[in-house]
Amino acid sequence: MLKNDDGRIGAVTGLVRSAFLVNAVYGESAREHGVTAQQGQLLCVLMSRSYGMSELGAVLGLAKSSLTGLVDRTERNGLVRREADERDTRAVRVALTAKGARLAEEFYTETCRRVDGLLENFDAADRDALARLLGRVVLDNDVPAVFLERDER
């Protein structure tokens, strides 16, 4: 059953369907910026700082081989670079190039605008309530910081 008798959907259905909606918006924004959704995630994560490969894999939830392929493809496009890790000579860090930083900012700004548009019919109280509830879900489940607030970048 998709709807309750009063026309509302349940919390689980709402979360799953809203995840599909946000993923579709995110994917469309990525395509229009010439990257895949995963590359868009990588760029957004790297906006705040460089990451070592293992910590980047943990944040993105990717196995080593998948992450290596993602970084390789994104590096070939000139958006990221590998650099030596000052603390561990055996390790590398992944950072945005100047081109990648520009694209990341454009992608981030446009994606925020599009996702914000999903809430255009919400008043300030509804937005605050949604932010508070989603914040609890994210924090209670230790969701990695794959997309930061503007002031956290």
Domains of the chain, by residue range, sit at 11-143
Instruction: Give the model's pLDDT for residue 89.
Output: 77
Report the alpha-carbon distance of residue 4 to residue 6 in Å, rounded: 5
For residues 26 and 13, what is the distance between their CA atoms, to the nearest angstrom? 20
**Mean pLDDT, residues 12-22:** 94
Is the Cβ–Cβ distance between 80 and 100 less than 8 Å?
A: yes
- Please list, in sequence order, all residues whose beta carbon lies within 8 angstroms of the beta carbon of residue 138, skipping any fewer than 6 positions away: none
Predicted confidence (pLDDT) at residue 1 exceeds the cutoff of 50:
no
Q: Is 79 helix (H, G, I), strand (E, B) or coil?
A: coil
Percent of the chain at pLDDT > 70 equals: 93
pLDDT one-digit tens code per residue, 105-139: 999 999 999 999 999 999 999 999 999 999 999 99
> Which pLDDT belongs to residue 152?
64
Q: Out of 2.60.120.200, 1.10.10.10, 1.10.10.60, 3.60.21.10, which CATH number does the structure's domain 11-143 have?
A: 1.10.10.10
pLDDT, the chain, mean: 91
Quote the pTM value: 0.85
